[in-house]
A and B are shown apart, each in its own frame.
Chain A
Amino acid sequence: MHSWTQRLLTAATTAAVLLAAVCAAASALDAFHVPAVQAQAHVTKINRFHKQINGNDKVTLTFNVSANLESLFTWNTKQVFVFLTAEYENAKNSLNQISLWDHIIPDKEHANLQLEVKSRYPLIDQGSSLRGKKVHLVLHWYVMPNAGAMTQGRMALSEFKLPDAYTS
């Protein structure tokens, strides 16, 4: 501690260690936060259902999403990534997950969503197993904190049945 450079280095090191401690404390508090997500999603229209030239089934959907994700936000939340998947089982895979819609929520003020989505991403099967298939709509979210580990959650919202025949 006899020279000013030594004191500066000591101060910087101590400050960095304490900053890590403060961030760890902020992250630890998030562990006690229990979010209560409320969400609904319903398919309103099947726009087009056909088989592509390469043999894969393809569906474009219109659906309503209403989700209140405000409870995911704490003071240590940077942003929330939310996406809706169609999930179904077929002979090839025990679980198929296809992302139909996604969104980045930057803050709590934009966390209450009410929207109609018109075929943002198509539902394309690996093969041709979608006719008459029962498909679940599942909402997933990833909470990205300022400090600490990313957490995730999911909620099954509704299910719908695809038609037994192609529409075109």
Chain B
Amino acid sequence: MDWQGQKLAEMLMQVLLVASAVAAFLAGYVRGDFQLMLLVYAGGVVLTALVTVPNWPFFNRNPLKWLDAAEAERHPRPQVSSAGAGAGGKKKSGKNK
């Protein structure tokens, strides 16, 4: 799931849950049946879970574009390499302890 997909999933989840809660309350109140309210709400929750929990294809329409590995090698960042050497030294000392 990409970033846009996660945003969409969260929005869908909240909208669907609130909508099913409102619908369940109205159905229960109009029919005067508390159990009906619970059943309608349970149905809404299951529907929401089916829509938003699995990693459906429509959550992956905006895939991240990573740079090629070759592109990074062509433009090395100097401070990264020096910091990497320092970190490497620390790691070695850590292992020896």
Q: Mark A residues whose CB is within 8 Å of B.
A: 1-2, 4, 7-8, 10-11, 14-15, 18-19, 21-22, 25-26, 29, 74-76, 146-147
Contacts and interface: CB of A to CB of B under 8 A. Distances in A.
A2 B34 CA distance: 36
Contacts, number: 59
B14 interface: yes
Contacts of A29: 29
Interface string B11-24: 00110011001001
A75 to B, nearest CB: 4
B34 A8 contact: no
A14 B14 contact: yes
A22 B39 CA distance: 13
Contacts of B55: 4
B21 A8 contact: no
Contacts of B54: 4
Contact of A2 (B1, B29, B31, B45): B1
25 contacts: A1-B1, A1-B6, A1-B9, A4-B53, A4-B55, A7-B52, A8-B53, A11-B45, A11-B48, A11-B52, A11-B53, A15-B17, A18-B17, A18-B41, A19-B41, A22-B21, A22-B24, A22-B25, A22-B37, A26-B29, A29-B29, A75-B28, A75-B31, A146-B34, A147-B34
Given A18-B17, A22-B41, A25-B25, A76 B52 contact: no
A26 B33 CA distance: 11
B21 A18 contact: yes
A65 B1 CA distance: 67
Interface string B31-60: 111100100010001001100111100000
B28 A26 contact: yes
A15 B37 contact: no
Nearest to A25: B25
